[in-house]
Amino acid sequence: MDSQVTENAKLAEKYKEDANQCFNNQDFNQAIELYAKAIELNPNVAVYYANRSFAYLKTECFGYALTDADKSIEIDKSYVKGYYRRAAAHMSLGKFKMALKDYETVTKARPNDKQAKMKYTECNKIVKKMAFEKAIAVDDVKKSIADSINLENIVIEDDYSGPKLEDGNVTLEFMEDLMETYKKQGKLHRIYAYKILLDVKQLFMKQSTLVDIAIPDDSKFTVCGDIHGQFYDLMNIFKLNGLPSPSNPYLFNGDFVDRGSFSVECIFTLFGFKLLYPEHFFMSRGNHESQTMNQMYGFEGEVKAKYTAQMSELFTEVYNWLPLAHCLNNRVLVMHGGLFSRDDVELTEIRNIDRNRQPPEEGIMCELLWSDPQPQNGRAPSKRGVGVQFGPDVTKNFLEKNDLDYIIRSHEVKSEGYEMAHDGKCITVFSAPNYCDSMGNMGAFITLRGKDLKPTFVTYKAVPHPDVKPMAYANSLLSLIC
pLDDT band at residue 129 under the 50/70/90 scheme: confident
- The burial class, CB within 10 Å (0-12 / 13-18 / 19+), for 112 is exposed
**Whether pLDDT at 63 is above 70:** yes
3-60 per-position pLDDT tens digit: 777 899 999 999 999 999 999 998 899 999 999 999 999 999 999 999 999 999 999 8
Q: Which of 55-64, 130-139, 148-157 has the lowest mean pLDDT?
A: 130-139
- In angstroms, the CA 252 to CA 284 distance is 6
Interacting residues of 40 by C-beta distance below 8 A, sequence separation 6+ = none
- In angstroms, the CA 479 to CA 482 distance is 6
- The burial class, CB within 10 Å (0-12 / 13-18 / 19+), for 136 is exposed
H helix runs in 208-308, sequence order: 231-241, 263-276, 291-297, 299-306
CATH number 3.60.21.10 given to 151-480: yes
**What does the pLDDT read at residue 132?**
81
Q: What is the mean pLDDT of residues 323-332?
A: 98
- In angstroms, the CA 383 to CA 389 distance is 8
Q: What is the mean pLDDT of residues 380-404?
A: 97
Same fold, 2-136 and 151-480: no
Q: Which residue has the higher pLDDT, 441 or 130?
A: 441
Q: Which residues are catalytically annotated?
A: 288
Domain ranges of the chain: 2-136, 151-480
**What's the mean per-residue pLDDT of the chain?**
94
**Whether pLDDT at 1 is above 80:** no
Quickly count: other Cβ atoms within 10 Å of residue 213's Cβ.
18
Q: Could you give the strand order of the β-sheet that contains 388-390, starting from the edge strand earlier in sequence?
A: 372-373, 388-390, 379-381
| Conformational region of residue 411, where left means phi above 0, alpha means psi within -120 to 50, and beta covers everything else | left
- In angstroms, the CA 47 to CA 68 distance is 10
334-380 per-position pLDDT tens digit: 999 999 999 999 999 999 999 999 999 999 999 999 999 999 999 99
- In angstroms, the CA 74 to CA 190 distance is 51
**Whether pLDDT at 481 is above 60:** no
**Whether pLDDT at 403 is above 90:** yes
Taking the alpha carbons at both ends of the chain, their separation in whole angstroms is 42
Q: Which of 79-83, 92-96, 141-145, 393-397 has the lowest mean pLDDT?
A: 141-145
Looking at domain 2-136, which CATH architecture does it have?
A: Alpha Horseshoe (1.25)
- DSSP letter at 25 equals T
**Whether pLDDT at 137 is above 70:** no
Q: What is the mean pLDDT of residues 186-192?
A: 97
**What does the pLDDT read at residue 482?**
42
Q: Are 464 and 437 in contact (CB under 8 A)?
A: no
**What does the pLDDT read at residue 131?**
84
pLDDT band at residue 138 under the 50/70/90 scheme: low
**Please, which residues bridge with residue 328 across strands?**
213, 332
Q: Are 90 and 99 in contact (CB under 8 A)?
A: yes
**What does the pLDDT read at residue 235?**
98
| Inter-CA distances, 417 with 215, 224, 462, Å | 24, 10, 11
pLDDT band at residue 421 under the 50/70/90 scheme: very high
Q: What is the mean pLDDT of residues 266-279?
A: 98
What is the biggest distance separating any 2 CA atoms in the chain, rounded to whole angstroms? 83
**Whether pLDDT at 120 is above 60:** yes
pLDDT band at residue 479 under the 50/70/90 scheme: low
- DSSP letter at 112 equals T
Q: Are 356 and 243 in contact (CB under 8 A)?
A: no
191-225 per-position pLDDT tens digit: 999 999 999 999 999 999 999 999 999 999 999 99
Instruction: For strands 456-460 and 426-429, give the pairing.
Output: unpaired
- In angstroms, the CA 189 to CA 200 distance is 17
Q: What is the mean pLDDT of residues 152-171?
A: 95
- In angstroms, the CA 158 to CA 282 distance is 35
| Inter-CA distances, 64 with 46, 56, 99, 117, 381, Å | 15, 6, 16, 26, 10
